[in-house]
Amino acid sequence: MPARILLQLDNDSHPSSFDSVVAIDAGVDQLLRYGNVQTDSIIPLVHGAMFTRGGDDLRSTAIFIGGSNVKQAEALMKAAKNAFFGPVRVSMMLDANGCNTTAAAAVVAASRHLNLSKARAIVLGGTGPVGQRVAQLLAHDGASVTLTSRSLDRGEQACEEIRSKLQQDSRIVAVSSETLQSDSAVLQDQEIIIACGAAGVELLSEQSLVALPNLCVAIDLNAVPPAGLGGIGVTDKAKPIGAAVGYGAIGVGGLKMKTHRAAIASLYESNDRLLDAVEIYEIAKTIG
């Protein structure tokens, strides 16, 4: 088998060292790393991956799309897909800012404690790249999802985007975090709570959290104190909090890393993998 090559295409000027190390540990032999990748400069890079190896060897070349700007990474993924010619293509994975592996690991962690297909879940600060993906994956597995945002408009727009990726009977609604009181029926109802807000803002106090009567799992994906969910430590991993269990960002980090490595390795199983949120989530399930 020829050397496993990964084109690491990053929208930051310095391609992520994190993504490079994980790729190496996932078995990549040769990394071709690019920073400052734009939609108008990606085509020749993709063509170079497509037209250099033939037949079965083509699956030994793959593309990883990263960088801190998730929207731009999505545009890169789309532009790269458009550069493919029918079966002349290479496998590709998007994990800009770790959005897909983080979301997948969080939802798999939640699924250890209850059946998602019947669960009620709320995603706090759900309009960012991780929040949207967490909401998508929960709804994908049948949960009834509420997504919160400071702006109801932005929340509803996020729901609309998420619905376009889901089956018609998926259940996802937005509420304004401004109007969400700790004693509101919406919050009281929830079994899963996942906080994806910006760093440095407590979205729910420990007192409010432990008082939620139906709460089963609470996950805070914020890695920098103060916690988004009061009472959850960054290294917590299925740690009891009230009658529920809690996870912090590092608490789901082990699963996230294993998912990232497994996803990279799976790129080389064929030349036509496209790994975005749902595909990476399915990989995380086999690990979690």
Which positions touch a second copy (CB under 8 A)?
A: 2-3, 5, 7, 13-14, 16-22, 24-25, 29-34, 36-37, 41, 44-49, 51-53, 61, 257
CA distance 283 to 288: 9
Could you tell me the smallest distance in angstroms from the CB atom of residue 58 to a second copy? 11
Cα 157 → chain centroid: 18
Could you tell me the smallest distance in angstroms from the CB atom of residue 126 to a second copy? 25
* Partner residues linked to 66 by β-bridges: 10
Long-range pairs for 81-84 at CB < 8 Å and ≥24 separation? Answer: 81/274, 83/42, 83/43, 83/46, 83/47, 83/50, 84/46, 84/50
CA distance 232 to 150: 22
Nearer to a second copy, 45 or 108 (CB): 45
Nearer to a second copy, 24 or 210 (CB): 24
Single-letter code of the amino acid located at 248? G
Could you tell me the smallest distance in angstroms from the CB atom of residue 219 to a second copy? 19
Cα 256 → chain centroid: 9
Q: Are 173 and 146 in contact (CB under 8 A)?
A: yes
% helix / strand / coil in the chain, to the nearest 5? 40, 20, 40
| Rg of the chain on CA atoms, in Å | 19
Nearer to a second copy, 41 or 181 (CB): 41
Nearer to a second copy, 15 or 230 (CB): 15
Nearer to a second copy, 52 or 82 (CB): 52
Cα 122 → chain centroid: 16
Nearer to a second copy, 60 or 146 (CB): 60
CA distance 108 to 116: 10
Could you tell me the smallest distance in angstroms from the CB atom of residue 263 to a second copy? 15
Nearer to a second copy, 47 or 154 (CB): 47
Could you tell me the smallest distance in angstroms from the CB atom of residue 259 to a second copy? 14
| Coil, strand or helix at 154 | helix
Phi, psi of 98 (to 5 degrees): 70, 20
Could you tell me the smallest distance in angstroms from the CB atom of residue 79 to a second copy? 14
Could you tell me the smallest distance in angstroms from the CB atom of residue 243 to a second copy? 32
